[in-house]
Amino acid sequence: MICSEKKNVLGIMINVTDYDHSVESVIEAARSKKPFAVTALAVHGLMCGVLDRELRYRLNSFDLVVPDGQPVRWALNWLHHARLRDRVYGPNLTLAVCRRAEQAQLSVFFYGATPEILEKLTRCVSRQFPRLNVAGSQSSKFRRISPAEKTEIIQRIRGSGASIVFVGLGCPRQEVWVYEFCASLGVPVVAVGAAFAFIAGMLPQAPPRMQDLGLEWLFRLWSEPMRLWRRYLFLNPTYLCLLLLQRFRIMRFCDPGVAPIQETRFG
């Protein structure tokens, strides 16, 4: 197991971690019944933090930020000699935490996505882990929510008795959600991006070879060109250019971000 520490990648502090350490960190926090903010960050999420100082502050306040994308893992290895052999991929992390939660008799809650995805997700997870207690699920409202609605969501999740909450709202909404809800929920909250749809079989995943080569973005672009072309056309080249600037110490990326002035309350 890797002894996790945080390293600066373009101003975002990413944990040098693997699946074993990440899973056990979540399980230990769940057993201790304490808030623990986690996100699985790929290039898109990292670059959102680079370009948005408030989001950067939120990300840098998280307890655990794992390298979801291969290019993020490569950056840790290239910039900081981390020697990570694998990324910590959101869907795999979700299943690994569910497996350990089943063993530890801890319950889980799924927040986000659509009712159809949540139904199929719950069915798939229950089939793989028949003794896992799925305390509940709630779909996204896909809009800003009121303070009263936020209170209702918190009460529903806390009332379910969930030990761990998974959030699948897409980046950066899910990271904002975790930042704004985690302390009130008082349990580990894990942002896992499109993991719900992947596990439910509602969204195709890139072949393993493409994932290993860091070409998952190309598969996603081919699958959803109208939605994703701007993201990959602009963010990927910018990411590479900024990494070069950091590697050769032309830029230092020391700004930790700025605390949000007000809540965003995505729901």
Q: What is the CATH number of the domain that holds 44?
A: 3.40.50
Residue 120 covered by a domain:
yes
Q: Where are the alpha helices (DSSP H) in the chain?
A: 19-32, 43-51, 53-61, 70-80, 90-104, 115-128, 147-160, 173-185, 195-200, 208-212, 216-223, 225-230, 236-247
pLDDT at 204: 86
Q: Which of 106-110, 169-173, 230-234 has the highest mean predicted lDDT (pLDDT)?
A: 106-110
**Per-residue pLDDT reduced to its tens digit, 38-53:** 999 999 999 999 999 9
Domain assignment present for 11: yes
Judge whether 238 lies within some domain: no
Query: What is the pLDDT, as a whole number, of residue 4?
Result: 74
Residue 184 lies in a domain: yes
pLDDT digits (tens, 9 = 90+) for 209-257: 888 888 887 887 788 888 877 777 889 999 999 999 999 999 999 999 9
Report the pLDDT value the prediction gives residue 59, as an integer from 0 to 100. 98
When the pLDDT of each residue in the chain is averaged and rounded to a whole number, the result is 94
For residue 66, name the pLDDT band (cuts at 50, 70, 90).
very high
pLDDT of residue 155: 98
> How many angstroms separate the CA atoms of 155 and 238, rounded?
41
Task: Provide the domain limits for residue 47.
Answer: 6-200
Look at residue 140 in the predicted model and tell me its pLDDT: 93
Q: Is residue 228 part of a domain?
A: no
Number of independent structural domains in the chain:
1
pLDDT at 3: 53
- Flag whether 264 is in a domain: no
**Residue 55 falls inside a structural domain:** yes
Contacts for 178 with CB less than 8 Å, ≥ 6 apart = 37, 38, 39, 62, 167, 189, 190, 191
> What are 121-128's contacts with CB under 8 Å, separation 24+?
121/196, 121/199, 121/200, 124/199, 124/200, 124/201, 125/95, 125/98, 125/199, 128/95, 128/98, 128/99
pLDDT at position 102 over 70: yes
What does the pLDDT read at residue 24?
98
| Residue 249, domain member (yes or no) | no
